Structure 1
Amino acid sequence: MADEAQDLAEGDEVFGKLNRLLAVLNKEKDDERALVLSIAAFSEDCLGRLLLAFMRDVKAAKELVEGFNAPLGTFSARIKACHAMGLLSDIQFADFEHIRKIRNEFAHNWDGINFAKPAIASRLAQIAPSRLSATGDGSDRGKLASAFASNLIECEVLISNLKKDDGRLKPQAVRLSAGKPVPLRKRKSGVAAKRQSPSKEG
């Protein structure tokens, strides 16, 4: 029965991926490196999907976000783009920047790296508390997992709403008329002639 409930949760259209992440985090709750790398990897993917849900459904959008050397293919670029487009609040933007920099600390150091390190502890302390009722087990690991559960739920809801309500960007391009332009001199002389012409007496 428990396995069936888990399968249903992980198959949910909106929260399926997030439910799978939470299941992974529950298994990795004692491994700080695995916890951070998993949250960061999921966040990067989530923000990519958020950008694609918001931008026009054109080939250029996919090329910006996905594929080799894509301009918006990095975690840093996706965080900034989502914030600039109004898809992330200032608080969410700061949280994703903190987890990105914490991820970099763990990814680039193979020894002596943990949540007690001052640079990491400082960033953990600046991450906004979870907006969910559950706040983890009170440990730094629990607070981090809970805080990003709320951030990612908010992003997944936004992705769903954009798809459901046709919230994609609408074309804003301006196109000049293709008609034959009238020379400026003729336009001016025509206006002058009109002004000087006598009015008809009835």
Structure 2
Amino acid sequence: MSEWDEDIAALDMSDVEKNGLQVYRNYTKAFEREQAKKFAAEVNSESHDVSRLDKVCDAIASDDERLIPVIACAFADEALDEMYKREIPKGVPGGRDSLFSGYGPFSSLSKRIQVACAFGWMSEDILKDMDSLRKVRNKFSHLWDHESLLGYAEKAPTSDITPVEMMFKEHEERLLLSGVENLDGLGRLRIRTIWLLGRLYYETLLYPLAVKQRLQPYVVLYGEHQPKLLSQVSGVCSEYTRQVLRAKI
């Protein structure tokens, strides 16, 4: 074998060693592709209703700006609650319900975010961004003069939410994300929150499943053989991205 990947070819190794390493890499990639296909087929065999995602994206795109963190956190709280109840075994000592009540590890949004991050059950950037919105929501709940919060979208931590338009730069035309960087802070926040909730919804359904099957979640969820659900989620997010962009023209 003389067709090596560029990084393997640059290694200070004998040709025999490079051949062995290349064969191993090729086998690993082929195995991962088959696992991704199998995972997608399993997910595609079930139907998924994205109407709830559609409804929350509609609210994020059009409701009062001060409601954005409240709505987003309520949706995330519900989605994470459902994820844990779906994935945590019923035979937990002391009863599964105790985990979700009182001072249990899943009793609040902040705890649900922390546990998901600690055990790698969701992309870290999603959890960090949701925690940023949670902090803003909490700030709102302790202030009676909400007029003083106008313009909050231009300030941290909301202004630091991952810019989806940069994350999906190579797909920005197809996903209708071109032009987002030209919006004001509120417009950017609406669109970034829409995509944040879309990804959170998608990953609460599939990320733990990939982890349990000992697969690389990012590969099987976003790679070449991604489940059809990703297209459904992207379609919803793109539609409300279009609405926000049109409203700003």
TM bin (shorter chain)? 0.5 to 0.7
> Over aligned residue pairs, what C-alpha RMSD do you find?
3.1
Structure 1 Cα separation of the partners of residues 137 and 119 of structure 2: 24
Structure 1 position 46, deviation (Å): 1.5
TM-score, normalised via structure 2 length: 0.52
TM-score in terms of structure 1 length: 0.62
Deviation string, structure 1 residues 81-128 (Cα, Å, up to 9, x no partner): 11112112332222011101111111111214325359x712122110
Contact 2:116 2:122 in 1 (8 A): yes
- For structure 1, which runs of at least 5 residues remain unmatched after alignment? 1-11, 170-202
- After superposition, the Cα gap between the structure-2 partners of 1:113 and 1:55, relative to the gap in structure 1 and judged at 3 Å, is farther
Higher helix proportion: 2
Q: 2:71 aligns with which of 30, 33, 38?
A: 38
Q: 1:95 and 1:115, CA in 2 relative to 1: closer, same or farther beyond 3 A?
A: farther
Counterpart CA distance in 2 for 1:109 and 1:159 is 31
Residue 19 of structure 1 corresponds to: 54
The 3-state SS of whatever aligns with 1:13 is coil
Which runs of 5 or more structure 2 residues have no equivalent in the other structure? 1-46, 169-174, 215-249
Q: Does 1:106 align with 2:140?
A: yes
- Tell me: higher relative CO, structure 1 or 2? Use CA pairs within 8 A at least 6 residues apart: 2
Residue 183 (structure 2) aligns with: 138
Aligned residues between the structures: 154
Deviations 1:4-31 (A, max 9, x none): xxxxxxxx83422111111222330xx2
Amino acid at match of 2:159: A
Pairs within 5 Å for 1:1-202: 13-28=48-63, 31-58=64-91, 60-65=95-100, 67=101, 70-111=104-145, 112-117=147-152, 121-130=155-164, 131=167, 133-135=175-177, 138-161=183-206, 167=212
Q: Is the Cα–Cα contact under 8 Å of residues 79 and 97 in structure 1 kept in the other structure? A: yes
Partner SS, residue 148 of structure 2: coil
Determine the C-alpha separation between the residues in 1 that align with 2:184 and 2:90: 42
